[in-house]
A = this chain, B = another copy of it.
Amino acid sequence: MPGPGAPLELREFDRPDPEPGGVLLRTLGSEVCGTDAHLWKGQLAGVPYPIIPGHVSVGQIAEIGPADASAPPPTDVSGAPLVVGQIVTFLDVYGTCGRCWYCTVGHATTRCPARKVYGVTLSADDGLLGGWSEYIYLRPGVHVVPLPAELHWRAFLAGGCGMPTALHAVTLGEIAFGDTVVVQGAGPVGLCAAVLAQLRGAGSVIVVGGPELRLDAATRFGADAVIDIGSTTPQERLATIREMTGGRGADVTIEATGAPTAVPEGMRLTRDAGRYVVVGQYTDAGDAGFNPHLDLNQKHLDIRGCWGSDVGHVHRAVRVMARYAQQFPWTELISREYALDDAQTALEDVAAQRVVKALIIP
């Protein structure tokens, strides 16, 4: 991705020699997510174009850098040494410093100024630091998470970055057994949230979104009801959800849309004293208006912004996807797979919401 708006280019790189602590992956697949479309449209600040997109990927370990005094052999989070041939994913974020105020006092590592993101804030000029590539070079310190045998790598990528993101959001939602959960948005994050709400024992899961392709996926993955935003007004949606909830509204609402107007709507869809998690406003798409008295204070609503994931979220996402793979056929979320030289089409299909989940298979 040479720059905002410019067509993707295929480039050749030398195969890197891993330094001590580094790991070279042979890429098996990488996802195309909404963030990649945002990157292409230049909607994120501070991106060092050219970049190799692809922040959530799976590969097979091809080579491990030599151990030396400064860099012990790389391990996974459980402390087991990595092995050539292993199939692994990795957290796109690395470099979190462990020393700054946010890391040590605020305990909000996603706000660490030192963090770097594969496929987003690392330049192609610095190496194979993104997933849409035959090989990915993992610098020393990147967190590597092996996939267990029960979880095929395609199944993991079917969730992609949507799964740890949704896992973070649903965790913040503190869903109680039997709660009615409304999910705004039927993209990968929304669909993963709808599944995970069922794995918190929700009493009912309602997905508000579109288009039909995605709502059908929501239904196949267990949503109790879907509401198409293409054919309803906000007033109708509010009335429908009130009717489904004894007049009260959702106990917990998860926003995963990207549209600013969805936020005040979500506040209204949530019951008094309910909880609202906003995870979809990943780029600046403008302002929204709300009524502080009616929508927040009198309602005594609890609103939680959710941004970014840490290695714990990825580790847990892998565990959950492996454990419940029988119940939820993850790979059905994959609409289409694209070769590297077809990445431009993939990007356009994602931007146009023509697919649920698109993969790049180099």
Q: Which residues of A are at the interface with B, using a C-beta cutoff of 8 A? A: 70, 75, 77-79, 96, 98-102, 104-108, 110-111, 141, 143, 167, 170-171, 176-178, 196, 198-204, 224, 246, 248, 260, 263, 271-273, 278-294, 296-308, 310-312, 315-320, 322-324, 327
Which residues of chain B have C-beta atoms less than 8 A from A203's C-beta? 316, 319-320, 322-323
Q: Which B residues lie within 8 Å of A106 (CB)?
A: 271-273
Contact assessment for A75 and B99 in the assembled complex, using a CB-CB cutoff below 8 Å: yes
Task: Give min CB distance, A11 to chain B, whole Å.
Answer: 29
| A299-B282 Cα distance, complex, nearest whole Å | 10
Whole-angstrom distance between the Cβ of A352 and the nearest chain B Cβ: 22
Q: Which 3 A-B pairs have the closest CB atoms?
A: A178-B319, A108-B273, A178-B316
**Residues on the B chain within 8 Å of A141, using CB:** 99
CB distance from A99 to the nearest CB of B (A): 7
In the complex formed, the residue of B with least CB distance to A70 is B70
Residue among A106, A286, A293, A300 having the largest count of chain B Cβ atoms under 10 Å: A293
Complexed CA–CA distance, A139 and B141 (Å): 20
**Can you give 5 contacting A-B residue pairs, CB < 8 Å?**
A106-B273, A278-B292, A278-B297, A299-B307, A300-B305
A316/B280 in contact, CB under 8 A: no
Question: Which of B96, B177, B288, B310 meets A317, CB within 8 Å?
Answer: B177
Contact A291/B296 with A99-B75, A246-B78, A272-B108 known, Cβ cut-off 8 Å: no
A77 and B100 within 8 A (CB): yes
Contact B204 A310 (CB under 8 A): no
Given contacts A177-B317, A282-B293, 18 further A-B pairs with CB under 8 A are: A75-B99, A77-B101, A77-B105, A78-B101, A105-B312, A108-B273, A201-B320, A202-B323, A203-B322, A278-B296, A279-B297, A281-B297, A284-B293, A284-B294, A289-B289, A290-B290, A297-B307, A300-B308
Q: How far is the CB of A320 from chain B (nearest CB, A)?
A: 5
List the B side residues contacting A323 at CB < 8 Å: 178, 202-204, 224
- Minimum CB–CB distance from A293 to chain B (whole Å) comes to 4
- Cβ–Cβ contact A303 & B300, under 8 A: no
Q: Is the CB of A316 within 8 A of B177?
A: yes
Chain B residues within 8 Å of A284, by CB: 291, 293-294
A328–chain B nearest beta-carbon distance, Å = 11
Q: With A273-B106, A289-B289, A304-B302 in contact, do A177 and B297 touch (Cβ < 8 Å)?
A: no
B293 and A300 form a contact (CB under 8 A): no
Query: Do the beta carbons of B303 and A293 come within 8 Å of each other?
Result: no
A148 to chain B, nearest CB (A): 10
B201 touches A143 (CB 8 A): no
CB distance from A48 to the nearest CB of B (A): 19
A300 close to B311 (CB less than 8 A): no
Residue pair A291, B286 in contact (C-beta under 8 Å): yes
Q: Give the chain B neighbours of A272 by CB distance below 8 A.
A: 102, 106, 108, 111
User: With A98-B98, A176-B316 in contact, is A291–B302 under 8 Å at CB?
Assistant: no
User: Which B residues touch A293, using CB under 8 A?
Assistant: 260, 281-285
A196 touches B167 (CB 8 A): no
| Max chain B Cβ within 10 angstroms of own Cβ: one of A143, A203, A327 | A203
> Which residues of chain B are near A287, meaning CB under 8 Å?
289-292
Most buried by B among A170, A178, A272: A178
Q: How far is the CA of A272 from the CA of B100 in the complex (A)?
A: 14
Our pick among B70, B176, B204 for the contact of A171 (Cβ within 8 Å) is B176
